[in-house]
Amino acid sequence: MTDFSKKLDPALVAKRYASERRFRAYGAVALAISVLFLVYLIVDIAVKAWPSFFEHHIVLKVELDPARIDPAQVQKGDFNGIIKDGLRAAFPNVTTRADSKKLMAQLSTGTGDDLRILTVANPAMIGTTVNASALLSDDADLYFKGMHAPTLKTPGQTNLQIAKDGENYLFTGDLSQLVAGQIVRANGGAFRITSMEPGGAKAEVLLTPDTLNSLVAGNWDILSFAAIEVDRRIDDRAVVLLEAMRDKGIVEKHFSWRFFSSGDSREPELAGLRGAITGSLLTVVMTLLLSLPLGIAAAIYLEEFAPKNNWTQFIEVNINNLAAVPSIIFGLLGLAVFIGFFGLPRSVPLVGGLVLALLVLPTIIIASRAALNAVPPSIKEAALGVGASHLQAIFHHVLPLAVPGILTGTILGVARALGETAPLLMIGMVAFIVDVPNGFRDAATVLPVQIYLWSDLPEIAFQSRTAAAIIVLLVVLFCLNAIAIYLRKRFERRW
Amino acid sequence: MDATPQKLPSNPIPRILAEKETKIVARDVNVYYGDKHAIKHLSIDIPDRAVSAFIGPSGCGKSTFLRCINRMNDTIPSARVTGQILVDGKDIHDRDLDVVQLRARVGMVFQKPNPFPKSIFENIAYGPRIHGIAKSKADLEEIVVNSLKKAGLFEEVKDRLSHSGTSLSGGQQQRLCIARAIAVNPEIILMDEPCSALDPIASARIEELIDEIRQNYCIIIVTHSMQQAARVSQLTAFFHLGDLVEIGDTEDMFTAPKNKRTQDYITGRFG
């Protein structure tokens, strides 16, 4: 038997293995870091986005007064007014004009829309009293989602007396729980402690109480805040009203279908993605219609038919160069050529699709050529050998085998087109467009541009909407990639 | 015959050429790949209904010449062919000759089995279908079955015609390729080292097959195996460095080669 260990220097062998282990460790560390970043990114976005998929309503008893809804024109009925009446009826304590305004401000400006849709579908409801679900405003919605400075509720554990003191009120008795700035809720009303004085706690009224009975431990409570009023998006009066709604049990949380079914809006609670999704879809369809046939035909010609000369080489080099051109340049080109020269309208998916088609053409051509090139030449020779023409050999045998590769390249190109923002800014697809586009010539925006637009808005609720839009875009892209993988597996054949 | 017969490289004329009709006549054929002169002034006659073997070391031009006969070299951009190649007296480089028709008459079997990644049935049906040979579905099925029978593959695959052609073993794949070539009714079958990727048993099966079908076709086989050439062919041509060194009846070539180079190659002194 030969002793193998004698043949090689053991130190050298050990060094070789050590270097391999080291290299594998580097790889594992690199992978771990990338995964960490990715997971952090996705989790962060998902956590921020989550609240946007839900919305808060209050359920109100409202009368669908025929005087406010013309049965012939239900669509034009004053549904916001009806909801507001319902809300007023639910809060009889709110009497002053300022308080009433504050109460109404808790409703969305589109609060009557759901009731409108319901009534249009069921005109028989007119004249009856129904339970209507009224959408709350973005700040009220955020309050119930717990995204404002937290409000602490402490039950009252002492007995207090309350008395009117001029304009204000005075609490006496065991004042150990009270601190200035807190809100005391009792007897159906709410008071803000303004100052603690030897004679008692001075308070101003936020919500008129029903009576001025003495406060017994357990039947009153205190609202206190982590931040002072001026630092909060929601002031004390609004908190009192919203807490009153919560206590009445009329607040409901629903999945926000509105987010997917409505167009853009300046009001965060009404803003939806349907316009952007439709715009993206139309643009991508346009892109595919143009770039797929052109790209594959160009790839087949270059790979199979083009004479191998300097001219072809020049074209090939330039196609590769085009794939590396910054996308905003394509936007400028689109602006100059399609809008400036051909006079096509601005902001429309037609032009967006044209520009993005130019953008992804090089990608599709390069991927398709690689796929065609990867088909073993023996397959083509076999077809030629039995007398197929060059074109038959390509279309019957080479192309079907290249389809998985072509599809992969195409879908990656389309995914890029779907995520592209810069060129669309140039052709005006960045406008604020409320209507959902109906065709290729309607003004539209697309998902990534919508994200860009929302990220710029001051309302806090739009932060969450932006994150939610990113999630939707990511889901769409993941779906596209999943389709790409599925199609590749489906068409993949061994040879 | 419109070609002026030239002196063949070896004298006397092989007996097989006297016995059989001449199917292919090549005169002063030169093939260039770019600057490389791959075949130099080649002239040869190939008999019909017999097997001709081309032997020679790698890179000697035998496959190149084979690919000239069905103009497969057209697909290589740098390849240039001069001289005359006549099939049944008709120049295959004539302007009015359609290369697709030529290839329908000149079938080819490649070095590596290359079935289409489709069903066994589709593999064979493809040729007849594009040439419109089959008039009906029944016709097509008959052609497929007959071709498979002629290629001696039918019994092995009759229950799985819808299975992929690539699922067969290497030897079966190569016979499938032969069946595919037969299906379009060619007159000539070119085989470019058909057994080089096969084990000895599969090779023997192919050799038997070649022997069975040679009565009906003009077969040219390129091979690196001297034994194979000796077993299956009636005519042998020895190529070296682009020259046709010697041509003769197979039995004479292997027993009494006239040229020194042929002798050296056959006895294994080079190559």
Q: Does any CB of chain B come closer than 8 Å to the CB of residue A381?
A: yes
Q: Do A387 and B101 touch (CB under 8 A)?
A: yes
Between chains, do B116 and A379 touch, taking CB under 8 Å as contact? yes
Give how far B220 is from chain A: nearest CA, Å.
Answer: 15
For residue B113, the model assigns a pLDDT of: 92
Predicted pLDDT of residue B145: 94
User: How confident is residue A77, by pLDDT bands cut at 50, 70 and 90?
Assistant: confident
Give B-chain residues touching A494 at CB under 8 angstroms: 117, 164, 166
Question: What tens digit of pLDDT does each residue of B54-87 get?
Answer: 999 988 889 999 999 999 988 888 889 999 999 9
Tell me which residue in A378, A389, A392 faces B110 most closely, judged by beta carbons.
A378
The confidence score (pLDDT) of residue B11 equals: 57
CA of A397 to nearest chain B CA: how many angstroms apart? 7
Please say whether the beta carbons of A368 and A409 come within 8 A: yes
At B3, the pLDDT band (50, 70, 90 cuts) reads very low
Average pLDDT value for residue range A485-492: 82
pLDDT, one tens digit per residue, over B163-182 is 998 889 988 999 999 999 99
**What's the pLDDT at B1?**
37
Looking at the complex, report in whole angstroms how far the Cα of residue A291 sits from the nearest Cα belonging to chain B: 28
Which residues of B touch chain A, with CB atoms under 8 Å apart? Answer: 70, 72, 75, 77, 100-101, 103-104, 107-110, 112, 114-117, 126-127, 130-131, 164, 166, 177, 180-181, 183-184
- Alpha carbon distances (Å) from A343 to A161, A289, B1, B158: 78, 21, 68, 65
Q: To the nearest whole angstrom, how far is the Cα of B79 from the nearest Cα of chain A?
A: 13
pLDDT 10s digits, A393-444: 999 999 999 988 898 888 889 998 999 999 999 998 888 888 899 999 999 9
> In this structure, what are the phi and psi dihedrals at residue A253, rounded to the nearest 5 degrees?
-115, 130
pLDDT band at A392 (very low <50, low <70, confident <90, very high): very high
CA angle (B140, B88, A386) in 5-degree steps: 30
Number of cross-chain residue pairs from A and B with Cβ atoms under 8 Å apart: 70
Q: Has residue A219 got a pLDDT over 60? A: yes
Mean pLDDT of A123-134: 90
Q: Say how many domains are in chain B.
A: 1
**pLDDT at residue B256, as a whole number:** 87
CATH of domain A274-491: 1.10.3720.10
> Which of B70, B108, B163 has the highest number of chain A CBs within 10 A, making it the mutation to test binding with A?
B108
Closest A-chain CA to B174: A382
- Whether residue A74 has pLDDT greater than 50: yes
Flag whether B235 is in a domain: yes
Higher pLDDT, A226 or A470: A470
What percent of chain B has pLDDT above 70?
95
Q: What is the CATH number of the domain that holds B98?
A: 3.40.50.300
- What is the ipTM for the molecules in this complex? 0.88
Mean pLDDT of A329-336: 94
CB B147 within 8 A of CB B124: yes
CB contact under 8 A, B166 and A495: yes
Contacts of A397 in chain B (CB under 8 A): 116
Residues in chain A within 8 Å Cβ distance of B109: 385
Distance between A302 CA and the closest CA of chain B, angstroms: 14
Q: Is the pLDDT of residue A1 over 60?
A: no
| A2 confidence band (pLDDT: 50, 70, 90) | low
* Confidence band of A231 (pLDDT split at 50, 70, 90): confident
Determine the pLDDT at residue B271: 55
Residue B4 in this model has a pLDDT that exceeds 60? no
Q: pTM here?
A: 0.82
Q: Assign A70 a pLDDT band (cuts: 50, 70, 90).
A: confident
Cβ–Cβ below 8 Å for B130 and A382: no
Amino acid at B231: R
Query: In this predicted model, what pLDDT tens digit does every residue of B129-159 receive, in sequence order?
Result: 999 888 889 999 999 999 999 888 999 998 9
The answer to whether B131 contacts A382, with C-beta atoms less than 8 Å apart, is no
Residues of chain A with CATH 1.10.3720.10: 274-491
Q: Which ranges in chain A are annotated with CATH 2.40.30? A: 151-225
Given a cut of 80, whether residue B218 has pLDDT beyond it is yes
Chain A residues with CB-CB distance to B107 below 8 A: 385-386
Tokens of B189: 């079958």
Beta strands in B148-194 (DSSP E): 188-192
DSSP-derived secondary structure for A232-290: SSS-HHHHHHHHHHHHHT-EEEEE-THHHHS---SSTTT--SHHHHHHHHHHHHHHHHH
Mean pLDDT of A94-104: 89
pLDDT at B25 over 90: yes
User: In the predicted model, what is the mean pLDDT of residues A155-172?
Assistant: 87
Q: Which long-range contacts (CB under 8 A, 24 or more apart) does B195-201 make?
A: B195/B223, B195/B225, B195/B228, B196/B111, B196/B223, B196/B224, B197/B111, B197/B112, B197/B113, B197/B170, B198/B170, B198/B171, B198/B174, B199/B170, B199/B171, B201/B171
Q: Domain span at residue B87?
A: 15-117+187-266
Q: What is the mean pLDDT of chain A?
A: 90
Pair of tokens at residue A363: 């990608």
Tell me which architecture the domain covering A151-225 has in CATH: Beta Barrel (2.40)
Question: Which chain A residues are Cβ-neighbours of B72 within 8 angstroms?
Answer: 381, 384-385
